[in-house]
Structure 1
Amino acid sequence: MSAALDAQLQKATNEYRKIETDLANAVEARQRLDIQLTENEQEFKSLTSDNDVYKLIGPVLVKQDQSEAKSNVEKRLEYIRNEISRVEIQLKELNGRQEKKRLQLVHLQGQMESQQPSAGAITA
């Protein structure tokens, strides 16, 4: 087995592992954003005009105008949706990179196997 091929395989393996880690982190970020989105959407779902809304400022709850609170939550929801879109794009890109790197690894492993002497070969 050539040292150069072995080095290429090791480098490609390390790059693949890095992509896997990045992909796992992106999936985790996407899940966190989904949870935040759900929580924020539920926040005002059952709110009626008779309900009071309070905002936590430091250790104190301060009464807040309901329309202002709804506006703030809508801005937060918009931000979260934009972040979800950004993470979705990142996930697609990482999946593409992972597939390319996987194919490269398969190719390199095939080259290594073709360079190894056959296990069933008879030598005199």
Structure 2
Amino acid sequence: MGSSMAFKELQRELETKAEDLRKLQKDIAKNHEVRKKYTVQLGENELVLKELELLKEDANVYKLIGPVLVKQDLAEANANVRKRIDYISAELKRLDGTLQDMEEKQNSKKEGILKIQQRIQALQAGKAKA
């Protein structure tokens, strides 16, 4: 294979790997956005739970459903908020695992790109082994 042919192959491989890296970085950014939303929701729900825990058992609790406030049992409200906190916490843990996996892939892809760039430079310098 001629060196110009090898060079074109490497260029194509580099473009493909760079595109893969861009897609992965977009997914990582999306993961960060979702994690941010869940973190805010978790904080809000923990605040609601603290407020609910301050109430006496006979206190009136209302839940906003659409434009209407509906009376709700305190124990039920408490249980619902706890369930929501559990769900959000589980989602955050899942997103953390996914993020870690994506970051490892990102590092691996960056290394692959670097190796190809080095091969291209070596080829350009005429040092590549045929």
Question: Which of 51, 60, 67 is the equivalent residue of 1:59?
Answer: 67
Deviation at 1:31, TM superposition (A): 1.1
- The answer to whether the aligner puts 1:43 opposite 2:43 as a matched pair is no
- TM-score (structure 2 length as normaliser): 0.85
Distance 1:7 1:53 in 2: 63
Distance 1:13 1:96 in 2: 16
Root-mean-square deviation (CA), in Å? Answer: 1.4
Q: Structure 2: where are the runs of 5+ without partners?
A: none
Identity of aligned residues (%): 37
- The answer to whether the aligner puts 1:24 opposite 2:24 as a matched pair is no
Q: Which residue of 2 aligns with 1:121?
A: none
Deviation at 1:59, TM superposition (A): 2.3
Question: Which of 2, 5, 10 is the equivalent residue of 2:15?
Answer: 10
Distance 2:21 2:82 in 1: 39
Deviation at 1:58, TM superposition (A): 3.1
User: Residue 63 of structure 1: SS of its match in structure 2?
Assistant: strand
Report the structure, 1 or 2, having the larger helix content: 2
- TM-score (structure 1 length as normaliser): 0.89
Deviation at 1:45, TM superposition (A): 1.1
Deviation at 1:55, TM superposition (A): 1.2
Distance 2:103 2:96 in 1: 11
User: Residue 51 of structure 2: SS of its match in structure 1?
Assistant: coil
Query: How many residues get paired?
Result: 118
| Aligned amino acid, residue 71 of structure 2 | K
